[in-house]
Amino acid sequence: EHDYDVDNMKHDPFDNMVADAVEVYKHLLEKQADNSVVIISVGFLNNLHDLLLDPEGFALVKSKVRLLAVMGGLNNDGFNLIRHDLVDQTQYVLENWPGTLVTTHVGGDMITGETLTGTTPTDNPVRRAYELEWHQGPNIGRSSWDQVTTMYAIFGNKYFKEEWDGGGSLRNGYTWSFSAGHRGYAAPKNDKEIEDEIERLMTLTPKMEN
């Protein structure tokens, strides 16, 4: 059971007011310089699967995307890579992504968000999410899987060591092998350093743009 606070937050548009995910990806990618885009996936891969099936989408991924950073278990993942019966879509992305795809799966022991209540305004949506979701309450952090993937995608080798030897597996029996510049894994160099930097970044005052 979860608590919500949507009445005090700006509402998202209704489903019939938003564009299809593949069309959004194509619209954004076509405006970017070649080999300049980093995509971060901390959820499910079905939209990227659909993008690869679209001929124009595949061509844009091949020419525009420098890196796909994926949060998911390296072997027999039990959530992001298989939930909602999406394991086949995950396999397709792993097999057919034309550029560099790097996974991360650590973060369970990196606890962040503990200082949000004491350092950010009451209407800060990140703070409210931590206070409400899973009944965490104020001044209680949680695991940082998604933030770790984001940190790798932004900072790369500053905080992580890229590994290109080895491989991974899905629960349907599919396995994939690492290869330099194509498929790999990002291992944190120092968990505490990454944890502290995530906490610092999450408590910064947002930079608002008109």
Domain presence at residue 208: no
Please tell me the total count of domains within the chain: 1
**pLDDT, tens digit, 9 for 90 and up, residues 95-104:** 999 999 999 9
Which structural domain, as residue segments, surrounds residue 57?
A: 6-10+21-202
Amino acid identity at 169: S
Domain presence at residue 71: yes
pLDDT in tens, the chain (210 residues): 456 666 666 767 777 788 899 999 999 999 999 999 999 999 999 999 999 999 999 999 999 999 999 999 888 887 888 888 899 999 999 999 999 999 999 999 999 999 999 999 988 888 888 888 766 667 889 999 999 999 999 999 999 999 999 999 999 999 999 999 999 999 999 999 999 999 999 999 877 665
Q: What gap in Å lies between CA 57 and CA 50, rounded to an integer? A: 9
Q: What is the pTM of this model?
A: 0.91
Structure tokens at 95: 């097999």
CATH of residue 172's domain is 3.90.245.10
The alpha carbon torsion through 128, 132, 135, 136 (nearest 10 deg) reads -10
**From the CB of residue 132, how many other CB atoms can be counted at a distance below 10 Å?**
14
Domain presence at residue 121: yes
**pLDDT, tens digit, 9 for 90 and up, residues 82-140:** 888 899 999 999 999 999 999 999 999 999 999 999 999 988 888 888 888 766 667 88
